[in-house]
Amino acid sequence: MSAKDTCELYCYDEAKVSRVQSLLSQHDITVMANMFKALADETRMKAAFALCQENELCVCDVANIIGSSIATASHHLRTLKKLNLVNYRKEGKLAFYFLEDDHVRQLLLLASTHSQATSGGRK
């Protein structure tokens, strides 16, 4: 760490610090962090992004899209379900997954837009 990327004198804006600390205490940061941890896994991100493209997909569809076994796709979808990012419905012997709400879709689409802007559209 160089001296240029840190404060050389310890001081802080008490009003700003208090305001932000108050806001932090009003939000469940652990839930927010866990959401990003779940999406930090490339396979789960692929599954979630696939669900952005379609209203719902069965586990078999997701497995084929992400190039995994049905068991692996199911495992990742269950993880996303536990964090309330996706939900599912049963139709006979099939399980169809969908994004829990539009906030999740917006988050994923923003991440996609950001990644394209920073990578110049490269894969």
Contact indicator for 86, 46 with CB cutoff of 8 Å: no
pLDDT in the model for residue 8: 86
Please answer whether residues 54 and 96 qualify as being in contact, where contact means their C-beta atoms are separated by less than 8 angstroms.
no
Task: Please give the share of the chain, as a percent, with pLDDT higher than 70.
Answer: 94
Is residue 33 scored above 60 in pLDDT? yes
| pTM flag (> 0.85) | no
Structure tokens at 67: 């190039």
Write down the pLDDT at residue 118.
Answer: 85
| Complete domains list, the chain, with CATH | 50-123 (1.10.10.10)
Q: What is the pLDDT of residues 46-96, one digit of tens each?
A: 999 999 999 999 999 999 999 999 999 999 999 999 999 999 999 999 999
Angle formed by the axes of helices 70-82 and 42-53, to 10°? 80
